[in-house]
Amino acid sequence: MRRHNRTTLLRLLHVGGPSTRAALATELGLNRSTIKTLVDGLAEAGVVEERVPRPGRGAGRPSLLVLPQPHAAVVLAVDLQVEHVAMALVGLGGQILVRDSWHLRTPTRTADEVITHVIESTRVLAADLGVDPVAAGISVPGVVRRADGHVHEAPNLRWTDVALGERLGGVLRIPILVGNDAELGALAEHLRGVARGSSDAVYVSADVGVGGGVIAQGSSLSGGAGYFGEIGHMVIRPGGRPCYCGNSGCWETEIGEAALCRALGLPEGIARGAILVELRELARDPEAALERLAEFTEWLTLGLVNVVNLLGPQLVVLGDLLTVLPEAVIRVVAEEVRRRSLVSRAVGGTRIVSSVLGADVKLLGAAEVAFETVLDTV
Amino acid sequence: MRRHNRTTLLRLLHVGGPSTRAALATELGLNRSTIKTLVDGLAEAGVVEERVPRPGRGAGRPSLLVLPQPHAAVVLAVDLQVEHVAMALVGLGGQILVRDSWHLRTPTRTADEVITHVIESTRVLAADLGVDPVAAGISVPGVVRRADGHVHEAPNLRWTDVALGERLGGVLRIPILVGNDAELGALAEHLRGVARGSSDAVYVSADVGVGGGVIAQGSSLSGGAGYFGEIGHMVIRPGGRPCYCGNSGCWETEIGEAALCRALGLPEGIARGAILVELRELARDPEAALERLAEFTEWLTLGLVNVVNLLGPQLVVLGDLLTVLPEAVIRVVAEEVRRRSLVSRAVGGTRIVSSVLGADVKLLGAAEVAFETVLDTV
């Protein structure tokens, strides 16, 4: 029981940030002497520190703040993207302590090369920080099995059946948690972003691929047999462009990076920076933006109507390239989803907002799945 | 703690049926003396009975069977359909004890009329049985809010904003649990049908409307703000037939009863019996069935590919009219879903099966939501 309370308190500090003993007692429904025993134990172990807060306006003695100590538990987070790998060591409390990243050149992004590079880079980061990670979370743009970190298919990486969890774990000798990138994005937004406090939210991100993560009834939803669903391969345009997945007219083929390039009149495969420049330019003229992106807007709307009608979220968080769409486009999408979705009307209008965690969203989500497994052993 | 164990044991008997003390001890992880105390207490209260089982082949004294007593807790179950209302009193253990049903004539199916009739019929059923229900579950073909039984929109009934839970509860003076019909169908199949033991399953039913219910990670999923998602209003054919929901080309407009009539060359609105006769006839000639239902089969397939790609279930249960489709059609749908769905391939091939609970599926699901609230007070 005491171990359980300790873990719950630590999770609260880890996710919610510094807090007073009094606030912790209220939030956990424990009495102050129990909290004192727990905090004293954690302070003795170097996991938290108590500090006098900056003087406030109130009279009387200020309550001590309990702060999680970042170095007390460090996890490795890896965000494997189609053209880029980002890595970091993340400390208790969710702060990124050191980071590394490198580009993947198309012909050489084999699983072997990536695994070797991740292992080398982990050693360098741990040496820099002077702390070894106790677990790792890996974000993969594909269909993964949570139980053992098996990557079934990561089509945009051209990976099939890679025992990623096993291979990294065999060398690094720590628990390896592998998750679908959008699932981890949803987790990060739920714990640390705009979906904080939302019990039912969907995160939709468009990059080269399109993915989604679902928070249902307050927790992260994963699909059958530990595989997560692939929102990007919802058929939205029967008879549309063929998709590598075996279907045609998938949402991914209509709102992914390639589709956005087509809509903007840019060559497919152009550098990301050029897409962002074009979008920023376009944002200055809302009418032109709506006109040029009319078809893209319609496919984005249709897919979101389906997502909302199926899952009934109160909140949809848009990630990656969708965060840089002109504001006028997002406004039209939000209005149309509310107008056309029966379920959106029922929940009083699903809110559609952009991700606030920026480029680190999947890295932060990867760190959180790793923390989930270690907080009870800190 | 004892109250908790008692409820858990009762739930096990209610859902799993008669069992021996030894089996109950194993399943609950409790020692035999604790089980004895619990069973003795329940027997004394008349909630269970212990009985010598029919002689088996084994030697030695047979274990006593613990049987739930149906009359010890009776709930009201109401299945409100577009043209028909079915009602029953269901006893502990899930057995239908008495039932009633009546047809709704289109011009008179106002909420007032239905509520009045439900109340009258409840009194007659309770008098027949000699036991009053302690809670009620109501299945509604529409968007409902679980928390207070508010029906936001039941379009095929032409109901909008009906305080169904409040109005029935005000007169019957028992807890009223209102659920979406497909959500309750999923619950029934999960507890008592083909989805028993499946942690991730989706139930899809086509009647006048098309609905779906989701079992995720072993429990029933309900959407944002307590509203359940509407799978039937997933847009599957952009630019298709207009739907009353404000969209066009919804799945419901392509695989609902009207679409099936069109595919079979029957006039829309024809009696259900005539559709069944035609389908049975067609089932005798698989080739003709595949040909005549080719387009219907494709829309059914496409929608299921989306459902599987989004939710990643291991099992899809087809309900209502979909259970009477020719076997050849179901076989093609199952093959195509496996072929076209990335996620189905990942989970090792989603199984697609027909509901086994027949016409009572939603009645049984309605009874179960009612039982959920009363088992701890029996």
Q: Is A348 on the interface with B (CB under 8 A)?
A: yes
Cα–Cα distances (Å) from B33 to A93, B3, B36, in that order, read 47, 16, 5
How much is the ipTM here?
0.80
Question: Which residues does chain A have within 8 Å of residue B341's beta carbon, measured at their own beta carbons?
Answer: 233, 246-247
Q: A240 in contact with B at a CB cutoff of 8 Å?
A: no
Bigger pLDDT: A224 or A155? A155
**What value does the mean pLDDT take over residues B92-100?**
95
Nearest to B312 among A228, A313, A340 (CB): A228
Give how far Cα A22 sits from Cα of A31, A45, B105, Å. 9, 21, 62
Q: Which amino acid is at A55?
A: P
A256: DSSP letter: S
Say yes or no to pLDDT of B59 above 70: no
Task: Determine the average pLDDT of the residues in B180-191.
Answer: 93
Domains of chain A: 2-68 (1.10.10.10), 73-184+361-377 (3.30.420.40), 196-356 (3.30.420.40)
Q: Which of 292-321 (A) contact B at CB < 8 A?
A: 302, 305-315
- The closest CB to that of B342, out of A233, A313, A346, belongs to A233
Task: Report how far residue B303's alpha carbon sits from residue B255's, in angstroms, rounded to the nearest whole number.
Answer: 9
User: Could you give the CA distance from residue B200 to residue B203 in angstroms, rounded to a whole number?
Assistant: 10
Q: Which residue of A has its CA nearest to B234?
A: A306
Q: What percent of chain B has pLDDT over 90?
A: 71
The answer to whether residue B228 neighbours chain A at the CB level (below 8 Å) is yes
The residue-averaged pLDDT of A178-199 equals 93
> Which B-chain residues 208-227 have CB contacts (< 8 A) with chain A?
212, 216-217, 221-225, 227
Residues in B touching A350 (Cβ below 8 Å): 224
Question: Which of A306, A314, A335 has the highest number of chain B CBs within 10 A, making it the mutation to test binding with B?
Answer: A306
Tell me whether residues B223 and A347 touch, CB distance under 8 A: yes
As given in the structure block, the two tokens for residue B208 are: 């006048």
Q: Following DSSP, what letter does each residue of B78-123 receive, concatenated?
A: EEE-SSEEEEEEEETTTEEEEEEEEE--GGG--HHHHHHHHHHHHH
- Residue that wins the pLDDT comparison between A31 and B56: A31
B315 contact residues in A (CB cutoff 8 A): 224
Question: In which residue are the tokens 């189905």 written?
Answer: B344
Confidence category of residue B250, pLDDT binned at 50, 70, 90: very high
| pLDDT grade for B328, boundaries at 50, 70 and 90 | very high
Yes or no, beta carbons of B306 and A235 under 8 Å apart: yes
Burial category of A269 from C-beta neighbours within 10 Å (exposed 0-12, middle 13-18, buried 19 and up): exposed
Please choose, from the candidates A43, A45, A44, A62, the residue with its C-alpha nearest in 3D space to the C-alpha of residue A53. Answer: A62
Residues of B in contact with A301 (CB under 8 A): none
**B344 contacts chain A (CB < 8 A):** no
Q: Residue B189 class from Cβ within 10 Å (0-12 exposed, 13-18 middle, 19+ buried)?
A: buried
Nearest to A312 among B200, B223, B346 (CB): B223
Confidence of residue B40 (pLDDT cuts 50, 70, 90): very high
pLDDT of residue A96: 95
pLDDT of residue B108 exceeding 60, the answer is no
- In this prediction, residues B191-212 reach a mean pLDDT of 92
- Partners of A66 in the beta sheet? A19, A50
- How many residue pairs from chains A and B have C-beta atoms closer than 8 A? 168
Whole-number mean pLDDT of chain B?
91
pLDDT, position B228: 65
pLDDT higher than 60, residue A362: yes
B312 pLDDT band (50/70/90 cuts)?
Answer: confident
Burial of B213 (0-12, 13-18, 19+ CB in 10 A): buried
